[in-house]
Structure 1
Amino acid sequence: MSAESPPQSILASPAARVTMVMSALFGTTGVILVFLPRWLEVERGLSGAEIGIILSLAQFARALTGPLIAYRADRAADRAAPLKLIALAATIAYAAFFFLADGFWQLLAFGFVALSVTQALTPLIEAATLRATAQGKMSYGVARGIGSVAFIGANVLGGVVTAHFGVAAVVVWVLCGLSLTTFASWFGLHRDPRPERPITSRGGGVGALLGNRRFLIVIVACGLIQAAHGFYYSFSVLVWRAQGISSEMIGLLWAFGVALEVAFLWSLPFIERRTTPETLILIGAGAAVARWFAMGFAPLGGVLWPLQAMHALSFAAAHVGAMRLLHREASEDSAVMAQTLYAVMSGGLLMGASTLISGCLYDVGGAIGYWAMAAMAGVGGLLALLLLQPKMRVPGATHQ
């Protein structure tokens, strides 16, 4: 009788451990994205333009900081180590931002560091999740959906907490959340050795990726579609509060949108058997144009719920399409770099420009900033049409 080791439980799998770290991070960013602009306005007295500058500076800088971190991460002997170190750095940086910064220029400087290191975690988590879920214990859609559930919890509970204790509660939530992310990564993630093999010409570093026309189309087109969420991420709370919507209701609205995103992600096996990543990107672009055009009229009441439901398409459909194509176009040797270059474009340069413009548009006319976002998503959709060229398709390709 052979002494075979019992099959590994899904809860002890690398996918489950990475999902735990992702959930802690998303449970933190769910409050940062929704309530940090409100904290800057109420607790620090900043204008929309000043808030836009603080939020956008780190996004612009990702064009430099992101690839540098990715270069080191792709070559680390232990691919889990950079994630652990950056999570710790993010906790320290946000503590300094909240307790040491006073006045616009100090907030800009400390906020740049805090936002930069926190944003650097996302491509590392995405790359680690794609690697871990490829082992088959848990699908990417399920893992990403669990992270989004954590984001929903942060939206709802964050709204309740800030309504009862004020926006100063954002400080406690963010520092506790980042501390949990650090703890989960240091004690939950096992060593993840980099494969010892030569870098291939297909994905060997920045040069090969930037020489891949299809890769460039993906990161620019999807970058525009995702950056079109800039006004929503930074100023939707301020617009809704000015319209008299309570913090609790705002948390529910955000959570509803992400709940539909989770439903979409958990339905991926069904969806991906019937469509392609390219089609998902185009669906996301169309939904973003319709959503932001309607939001520009500052609607109230029941119409907000179907508009929030469109988050499953404007964000999730485009995101999944991008992740699939990035995974296809880059080798494992440059997986983090591919994710980072996409993040630099979508969450860095384009999101930075989107956020900066949004701050000015919010000061001028409130919700009209959404119309600029609709135009941005439309341009991304037009560019994504190039992905449908027959010669660029892979006959008989399957989707994971």
Structure 2
Amino acid sequence: MFKPSPFGWVSQYFIGFFFAYGVYLPFWALWFEGQGISASDVGLLMGLGFATRCVANLIITPRIHRVESLLPALRWATLACTIFIACHLFAGANFALLALVTVLFNLSFGPVVPLSDAMANHYSGKQMLDYGRTRLWGSVAFVGGSTAVGYLAAQFGANMIVYTALAGFILSMLFVLRNPNPMPISDTHIATQRPKLSLLLREWPVVKFLALIALIQGSHAAYYSFSSIYWKEVGHPESLIGYLWSLGVIAEVAVFAFSKRWFNGWSLRSLFLISSLGVIVRWALTASTTEVYALVVIQLLHGVTFAMAHIAAIQYIQKSDASKMVALQALYNAIPLGAFIALMMALSGWGYELWGANIFWAMSIMGIFALFIKVEPSSRAPVSSDAISDHEAQN
């Protein structure tokens, strides 16, 4: 069987996986709605997915210690994703069945990003690939998935959302079955320990950092769950919605691509302040208007509200004590990007059902609270460009 280079293997796997993710993240709430699920239950199901991913990344992912285990784990996780995404077609409008397949799918889905990133980082450390150049193909595929499914759903109905995501996972399955050349093998035995997360959660600076990121990234909850539904309700076609989601990702990728040039010398405080102001403006606009020109501005602000905050978070983690870096990364992915977004998705579901688009005003207010939280990590070396590029795993 043909054995691709590390760059070919990882970039092609990213293409399949993030094509499917570009379908899932923007359009899954729309598919739930198409099954007759209420807005509050859509929020619960979407939040349940994020909560499950949080649990998976705290419990399952840390058990994959050695690099030799990455490829088998990715194969099993990708196979499970493929099976459970297809199971949605048989759940219909049964909330209990939808909740079950949501949990099973996200238990499989959650570990894929950190495991595939670990593969990329392993080969990057051996100078066999450039992480940023490799990861870029995942971003391109995300845009392709969200664009394609918007057109297909508009032409052929909501079930095309599941079929298109399934096609992406089948492609991922074909790619992950191949062996890269060379295979990932540890040079030396490295003892690994699970991070002491409970100890970090007792430190006030860490709590402030997690709270700040939770406010900024958690403000995206209503956007992830209900922006597609909202924009469709006011008359925008699925094809336009797909283009808008793609525009948001393009803005995010642009900020990461030029972050070293644009933000060199900026303090963490400045990055977090600009991101918080972006949150205030973006969601206030979303609550106020659905004009296409305004939606373009709203989506371009994704580079500010998500990407700049992530850049600042990565810098915070890398400037902290070396002994805390792994644990901080785990907490960052599990709490602000997992558990808190899950909670906010559930709350935004009830809010959207009661207040409609006014729920986005609540998201905007979260940016105001974020303005008043300051974080101060201990001084360390500057963040690497590869680490800054590692951004879309939780978007």
TM value normalised by structure 2: 0.85
Whether the 8 Å contact between 2:320 and 2:379 is mirrored in structure 1 is no
Equivalent residue runs for 1:279-318 within 5 Å: 279-318=270-309
Aligned to 1:252: 243
Assess, with a 3 A threshold, how the Cα gap between structure 1 residues 378 and 360 changes in structure 2: closer, same or farther.
same
Q: Distance in 2 between matches of 1:151 and 1:291?
A: 22
Aligned to 1:4: none
Q: Which residue of 2 aligns with 1:228?
A: 219
Conserved in 1, the CA contact under 8 Å of 2:17 and 2:172?
yes
Structure 1 residue 148: Cα displacement: 1.6
Task: Work out the CA distance in 2 between the residues paired with 1:363 and 1:183.
Answer: 41
Q: How does 1:275-354 map to 2 (within 5 A)?
A: 275=266, 279-326=270-317, 329=320, 335=326, 338-354=328-344
- Output the CA distance in 1 between the equivalents of 2:383 and 2:99: 46
Superposed CA deviations along residues 28-63 of structure 1, whole A, max 9, x for unmatched, are: 111111221111111x21110111111112322344
1:198 is the counterpart of 2:191: yes
Q: Which residue of 1 aligns with 2:350?
A: 360
Closer, same or farther in 2 for the Cα pair 1:110/1:316, shift >3 Å? same
Aligned residues: 381
Give the letter for the 2:369 counterpart: V
Question: What is the rounded CA distance, in whole Å, between the counterparts of 2:132 and 2:45 in structure 1?
Answer: 33
1:240 aligns with 2:231: yes
2:264: which partner in 1? Answer: 273
Per-residue deviation, residues 71-121 of structure 1 (Å, max 9, x unmatched): 212356423332222111111111222224551111111222113322332
Give the aligned residue type for 1:31: V
Superposition map of 1:58-207 within 5 A: 58-74=49-65, 77-100=68-91, 102-136=93-127, 139-187=130-178, 189=180, 191-194=183-186, 196-199=189-192, 204-206=195-197
> Which blocks of at least 5 consecutive residues in structure 1 are unaligned?
1-10
User: Is the 2:88–2:98 contact (alpha carbons within 8 Å) kept by the matching residues of 1?
Assistant: yes
**296-305 or 96-105, which moves further after superposition?**
96-105
**Displacement of 1:134:** 4.4
2:319·2:383 contact (CA, 8 Å) conserved in 1? no
Q: What root-mean-square deviation, in Å, do the aligned CA atoms of Structure 1 and Structure 2 show?
A: 3.0
Which amino acid counterpart does residue 18 of structure 1 have in structure 2?
V
Q: Deviations over 1:180-219 (max 9, x none)?
A: 222222315564345523348xx85535655666555444
- Give the deviation of 1:350 after TM superposition: 0.6
Separation in structure 2 between the aligned mates of residue 57 and residue 142 of structure 1, nearest angstrom: 33
Q: Aligned residue for 2:382?
A: 397
CA offsets 1:140-188 (integer angstroms, 9 cap, x no match): 4444433222111112111111111111111211111112222222315
Quick one: which amino acid aligns to residue 105 of structure 1?
A: A
Distance 1:248 1:79 in 2: 37
Question: 1:386 corresponds to which residue?
Answer: 375
TM-score, normalised with respect to structure 1: 0.84
Q: Percent identity?
A: 25
Tell me whether 1:32 sits opposite 2:24 in the alignment. Answer: yes
Q: 1:111 to 1:276 in 2, by over 3 A?
A: same
Partners of 1:372 and 1:105 lie apart in 2 by 29
For 1:148, give the aligned amino acid.
S
The answer for unaligned runs of 5 or more in structure 2 is: 386-395
